[in-house]
Every structure is written in C-alpha cells, then in structure tokens.
Structure 1
Amino acid sequence: MNTDATDTHGRPTGRLTGVTVAAVVALAATLTLLPLSRADRADDRGESRQAATQAAPAAEEADCEEPERSLRASREDGPTIDKIKARGHLIVGIDQSSYRWGYRDPATKTIEGFDIDLARAIATDILGSPKDIVFRAIPTNQRVDALNTDTDSGVDLVVRTMTINCARSEQVAFSTAYFEAGQQILAPKDSGITGYDESLSGKRVCSADSTTAYDELVKNSFGAIFKDEHDGTPQDKDILTVPNQLDCLVRLQMGEVDAIVTDNALAAGQAAQDPAVELVGEPFTKEYYGVAAKLGNDDLVRRVNQVLEEYRAGGADSPWMKSYDRWLKAGLPGIKGPPEAKYKD
C-alpha cells in the first residue's frame, strides 16, 4: 500500500506536518467515509448510529478468571447456524480503518487485513465460500450494540480487534483467543514521552471510547489532560475519547493531542502509516482478541472455535501464520504463533 499519495483536501496543520502526515490523514478520511456494501464492501450505516449500550466498567479480577476460556469447538449445526445458512450469507461487524487489521485499500477498493482473513475463513467454513459474507463497518464503541440488535444494522459476529475481558463476557459470547496484544503508548518521536508513566503528566492523551485503553486511563492517567470531545468543556476526567481508534491518530497529527493509548497491535499499523510516530515504553497489559457473538448463540461460538482450531493448525504453514506474515509481521515481528485455545467445558 502506498502511503505517499497526495492529499487532495490539503495538509493538516499542527506539530506533525509533511507529505506522510497529509497522506495518512487522506487515508483516514478515505477509509472512514467510503460507503460499503455486500461481499467486498461493508454497510457503513452503523457509523452514524448512536450506541445504545456502552461497555461496562472493567470487572474486578476476583469476579472473573481467564475470560478467554470459551465453549468447546464443534462442527454441529444449531439454530443460529441454520438461520445463517437459510439467509445465504454471514454478517460480520468489522473495522474499515485499521491498517493491516481491517481497512479499505484505496487502490483496490477492497476490504483487507488480518481480521478480514479470519472473517472470510469463518464464512467459508459455514457457507462454502469466502464471498458469502456481508461486512458492516461499526465504530469501536458500538461493537456490543451491533451484536445485541435485531434490526437491519445487526451482525452475527464481530471480528474487530475486540479484547476479551470479564465485563464484556457479561454482554457477548467470545470465541477462544486468536491474538495476544497489550496496551502501549504511541507518541511523536520528539515528544519526550517514555511510556505509560509520569512522562504523561500534563500531556493530552487520546483513546477510543469503550476500550480497555480507556479503562486503564481511568484507573491511572498519570496526570494526563482531558479535553471533552462532546461539548468542549473540561470535565473531571483526564483523557480525550473518540468513537473510532483511528480518530486518535488524526488528532495526534493535527496537534490536538500529545499521545495515544491503544493496543500495540493497532498502534504498530499506525506507526507504519506515519513514520513521525512510534511506540514507546513497554506494553503494560496482556490482552487477547476474540471473535464476539450474541450471548446464547452457542452453536455459532462453537463453530467459530472449530474454525480457529483448524486456522491455527499447521505451524509455519497454518492459515494463521500466513495471514500474520502478510499483514502483521513487519510491524510486530517475532510472534511465533497464535495463543493456545482454552476451553471451559
């Protein structure tokens, strides 16, 4: 992907400037605004809807142990699988603006990335073809809502760098883990910020709403400054929250914030888009991404886990490793394989 394309809307002003920054802002606008539809295009109607529910605050560790444990894998059909087969396509909530995970390639106009490969593998297993899929772009803070609605904007699954945790496990049903990540700081190379520590004091820090990054900053912001996105008035908080994680990168480029807290897996893609920023410090959490389904859709969860069993198998030749090599290895080198599946029954 060429990130040096000319920005036809003009370059952003602010502390970070230059052709690369302008190109990334242009890319962000392209990925966020282009409409999507069936198969290689996703329905972006969810982008404009307000979230009906928000992720609950993180549960205490004592209330939940190993939330990444899931239902045992099975290929047996059930009512949810039967409904999907009768419909003729799988509906998956995705991101269309996270480079290397789920994004629209501006050259080919197709949705691509690590999460997209997995979503297509699930569709192939259930319906026989990777084309029997409808992608719906949903904001970060509407992932749970999209699963829990029966309207036209609802989805069967969310495959969107969604961290498995105790609070979310009360709202949705997760597959076994398919990727291990951690929260980390993304900042300009000349920022003086050294990580998730006191160097954030007095800095404006951005995170996406309803994310584990947000929860961690609420626990301890190290004196970071909050700017209220919704009405422009200071609040008794210390972070800037946005609906979509990529919005933080745009605000960083515009000089509106000084740093981002997000998953290092996502931040690596952003650093690849913009060489003026870098990951600093070490990851300060250990988190696992899972495929999310509606609570009670056990047959679909078990089927996804069966797909993941086969997706992980084969070592260096596994579909998982081939997708990692293609999309993630350059920004996240050294990963030897996927996390081990853990089951609770």
Structure 2
Amino acid sequence: MNIRRVRAGLKGWGGVAAMAVVCALALAFVLLLPLTQSKGADGTGTGGQGVAHGSQARAEDDPCQDPQIKKAPEKQTLSPSGADGDTIKKIKARQGDKRKLIVGVDQNSYRWGYRNPNAGTSGELEGFDIDLVHRIAAEILGDPNAVLFKAIPTNQRIPALQEGRVDMVVRTMTINCTRLGQVAFSAPYFKTGQQVLAPKSSTIKGYDDTLAGKRICTAEGSTANTTLTEDQKAGKLPATAKIVDPVPNQLDCLVRLQLGEVDAVVTDGALAASQAAQDPTVQLKGDPFTTEYYGVAMNLKADDLVRRVNQILADYRKDTANGWQASYDKWLSATLDKDSAKSKPPTPAEYLRTS
C-alpha cells in the first residue's frame, strides 16, 4: 500500500455539503472493509454483533484505585523487547493472504486515519496513525503492507480487543486508568489534551462558564464524554450545559455542529484541530484542559506484543528520516504546530508495569 501525500490545502472539506460527500465516501468504503464483527484475530470464533460483551475489571482490581496509576497511567506499560512470544508467533504462523497484522483503525479522522477523497479510486487509508501501523507490520512481519485494516467506531475499540477481532488498535486512543483494567497499552506515542471546538461566531470562549446552556457533543466511549460527565457532577462544568447523547464517531460530532444540532464539540485537541482544518467556519476555543497520551492498545494477555510494540516505538522515535518526526511533519504540522515539541511523547519513556 503506497501512502500518498495529502495535497496542501485540500479543497471542499468545509461545510455541510462537503462533509456529506465525505461521509458518503466513508460509508461506501467501510462496506469494502472486513466487518469488525467478523472472526477473531486468530481466525477462530466470532465477534458477535458488535455489542460490548468484553469483561470489565472487577472493582477490587480497578487500577484507578491506585493513586500512582491514576496520576500517570501512561507509565503503566512493559519494558521493550524484541523477543517473539506466543502472541507474535501466532500472528507469524498465519498462512497465505491471512498472514497479516489485524489492526483496528479510524477511517474518518482527517490526517490521522482517513480516506483521502482526492486520492482517486484506490481508497487507501492515510495518516499519522496509519504510518505507525505500517511500521509495526514491517518490524513484526517484514512487510509494511502486511496489514488487514478494520474500521471500528470509538465505542468498539475495547470490545474489538477483548473479543479477539483485532490484534491491536491504533486509533488516537487515550491511555487512562479505567482502560488499563480492560486492555494493555504501549508506551505513549502522542501527547495532546481535551479542547472545545465551536463555530467561530459562537460566544463560547473555552471550557468555562460560557458553556452554560450549550449543547455539547462527544463520542461514545471517549475520554471526553467521561470527563464532561464527571466534571458536571463535581461542579466544574455548568449545570445547565447539556451533554447530548454521544455519537459513535468523532466526525459525527462535527457534522452535528455544522447542522446546528449542537453548539460545541469536546474532543482531543489533536483531533479537533484536524476537524477545524476540514471546516474553516469552526475553531478551537480556549486552551487544553487535560493532558492525554495516545497509546497502541492490545489484549491484556498479549504481553509479548506489548513489549515488541514498545521496542518498535522506541526505534520509531529515534528514526529521524522515516520515523515519528517525519510522519508528524507530513500529516500534522499543517493542522497543529510546526513545532512538534508539545505533541512529542515523553522521552525516555517509563515502563512501570512488571507483569
């Protein structure tokens, strides 16, 4: 799969009509992707109908009860290793066309994981997350294109891993203590924070009292949805702010904002910046009000895969020619800051998980 560069200043991304075209394209292509409710990552069993049946962490095993984990969940990962364990051996044992890394991704997040409508009929996925997936596949299977992409909505990332439908999820997924009881994470590969997105003409100034009486959209299963709900209970968010029913994907929030069905969107600033690039009538309001770290998510039992991905990430950060920085410059510097310092993951990473 050849990664095409996005043409500078993509035309036609702003406005409701353009977004309708994008959504139509996304719908057409998702029908071509393998269903996320398909066989498990090892080729056996079924994934059901996409309902979140994965087991939750028991209350006594809740990582959030540990103050150190709650304070820095991004450090709760295993040390790097290049060794092949049972998980990796099973992946390598796949035969023929099935010898691929099965990865859950987004296909609607501009410059992260998306289908470029100007790329012709190939329908190839592109973006920062997609570059990382290709690097992982190259290191594990010796072929950057040995990937089976599965487009999954925000609220299906954890069930897809728990039910064995994918080997990993690379989809702007924040590492937090609650999720550490459900899936395993790599070391961070990106740093961002929650921000407010609203029309330029809006009186909303940020995550403050100007949200009073406003309708706010978030994605189901997102850290933004959890943060808003908890903050409103704690009195940090105006009681009159209305957190509308969450949507399956972040892009749905942008469409609802364009249609006037909501007044604001709360999501990671990195994603919000990409959405603002798609529609020049909206903008980020105020500064980030949290700190978020993206990680590669894997099954809780896939220790060897976690260690291998951490080794790959360490090498990816050091690779100045074709690694993290090159991918940032290609995909994100136009929508975020030319200076990537605010987005770089902590270096050196800390690996505090021992088992």
TM range (shorter): 0.7 to 0.9
> For each residue in 1:90-113, what CA deviation from the matched residue of structure 2 results, as whole angstroms up to 9, or x when unmatched?
000000100010001123311000
| Aligned-partner Cα distance in 2 for 1:58–1:261 | 25
Q: 1:290 to 1:20 in 2, by over 3 A?
A: same
Aligned-partner Cα distance in 2 for 1:224–1:43: 42
Change in 2 beyond 3 A, CA 1:36/1:281: same
Query: Percent same amino acid among aligned pairs?
Result: 52
1:141-180 residue pairs with structure 2 within 5 A?
Answer: 141-150=155-164, 154-180=165-191
CA distance in 2, matches of 1:174, 1:312: 17
1:71 Cα deviation after fit: 0.4
How does 1:1-345 map onto structure 2 within 5 Å? Answer: 1=7, 3-5=10-12, 20-35=15-30, 42-46=33-37, 49-53=50-54, 59=64, 62=67, 64=69, 65-69=71-75, 70-87=77-94, 88-108=99-119, 109-150=123-164, 154-220=165-231, 221-226=237-242, 238-315=243-320, 317=321, 319-333=323-337, 334-336=339-341, 337-340=344-347, 341-344=349-352, 345=354
Aligned residues: 314
State the one-letter code of the partner of 2:53.
A
Q: Tell whether the 8 Å contact from 1:54 to 1:144 is kept in structure 2 after alignment.
A: no
Distance 2:142 2:179 in 1: 31
Alpha-carbon separation, structure 2, partners of 1:58 and 1:259: 32
Following the alignment from structure 2 to structure 1, what is the Cα–Cα distance between the partners of residues 68 and 189? 23
Q: What's the TM-score, normalizing by structure 1?
A: 0.85
| Structure 1 portions without partners, runs of 5+ | 7-18, 227-237
User: Structure 1's 90 and 138: CA in aligned 2 closer, same or farther, altered over 3 A?
Assistant: same
- How far apart are 1:31 and its partner, in Å? 2.1
Contact 2:216 2:266 in 1 (8 A): yes
CA drift of 1:219 comes to 1.7
Q: Is the 8 A contact 1:217 1:239 kept in 2?
A: no
2:4 is aligned to none
Q: Is the 8 A contact 1:3 1:23 kept in 2?
A: no
Distance 1:258 1:53 in 2: 34
Residues 16 and 259, structure 2, Cα contact 8 Å, conserved in 1: no
Task: Render the CA deviation track for 1:124-143: whole Å, top value 9, x for unaligned.
Answer: 00001111110000110010
Superposition deviation, residue 331 in structure 1: 1.2
Measured after TM superposition, the shift of residue 36 of structure 1 is 5.8
- Secondary structure (helix, strand or coil) at the match of 2:93 reads helix
Change (3 A) 1:58 1:264: farther
Instruction: Decide whether the 8 Å contact of 2:56 with 2:181 is kept in 1.
Output: no
Q: Secondary structure at the match of 1:278?
A: strand
Flag structure 2 segments of 5+ consecutive residues without an equivalent.
1-6, 39-48, 232-236
